[in-house]
Amino acid sequence: MMKKVAILGTAAALLIAGITPAAAQFQTALDVSSATTKEAKASQQRIDQLDDETARLLQDYQAFRKQYELLTKFNKSRAKEVERQLVDIEKIKEDLENVEGLQMEMLPLMEKMLATLEDFVKADAPFELEDRLERLARLKNTMGNSEVSPAQKYRLIIEAYQIENEYGMKLANYSDIVDTPEGPLRVEFLQIGRAALIYQTDDTSVLRIYDRKSGEFVDLDKKFLEDVRYGLRMAKQQTPPNFLPIPVGAPEPAGASN
């Protein structure tokens, strides 16, 4: 009797609450469905996030792989370059081992070249002599300077030889004061390579040419005065180059005495 009362009491309570047993079950199902939907939505969001992260990681992987391939190629090329450099280093080491011997051979050669150049300048016509002797003096000082490398010394000697060689193809004029039988005079020089060195005074009262045999300036026949004037104009680029008659001595046969 008491059991029936309890059941009736529960049913009465449901009726009082306005909910039938079927409605309660339906509400429970709705709650479960809503929770499931929410959980599915949250799961989908996590899946989307994982997809985005996977795509980003894939992009990073592809970028890193491409960078790795580029670095691999670069390292291979650098490795070949290092191999070539190692070969060059070995060659340089061999050259360095021979430097001392080369320097010992070069020093007497350069000294001989300098001495030959000095003898040549002293035996040559005395054009621009002061500049040429100063150049030789500087070279001598450089040869005795231990701070200057042998390569630099050799280069300077070669440059001096080149300058002397260019004098032989040079048509030039310059003024200077020279000692003459008439006393110190300011004269104008005409240098025609190494073929002739002539000077004249402004009033052309003195006209002389360098004589290699005597090593002195000797009087030049005034019939060459116009030729000298024409040569001076060419040297000053006041007239176009042309043939220039100059007095030169006949060549001596080999072995002839001076």
> Position of tokens 């939907």?
37
Helices and strands, number each (H, E), in the chain: 5, 5
What pLDDT, on a 0 to 100 scale, did the predictor assign at position 4? 45
Instruction: For CA atoms 87, 93, 97, 98, give the dihedral sign.
Output: positive
The CA-based angle 137-143-149, given to 5 degrees, is 135
Whether residue 194 has pLDDT greater than 80: yes
Whether residue 53 has pLDDT greater than 50: yes
pLDDT classification of 257: cutoffs 50, 70, 90? very low
pLDDT classification of 5: cutoffs 50, 70, 90? very low
* Average pLDDT across the chain, whole number: 81
What pLDDT, on a 0 to 100 scale, did the predictor assign at position 199? 94
Which among 163, 162, 232, 159 has a CA at the least distance from the CA of 196? Answer: 232
The residue with greater pLDDT, 101 or 156, is 156
Arithmetic mean of pLDDT, 29-42: 76
Arithmetic mean of pLDDT, 242-257: 58
Which of 13-27, 29-43, 244-258 is least confident?
A: 244-258
What pLDDT, on a 0 to 100 scale, did the predictor assign at position 50? 80
Q: Are 234 and 242 in contact (CB under 8 A)?
A: yes
Which of 51-65, 108-122, 124-138 is least confident?
A: 51-65
How far, rounded to the nearest angstrom, does the alpha carbon of residue 183 sit from its chain's CA centroid?
Answer: 54
Q: Report how far residue 197's alpha carbon sits from residue 251's, in angstroms, rounded to the nearest whole number.
A: 17
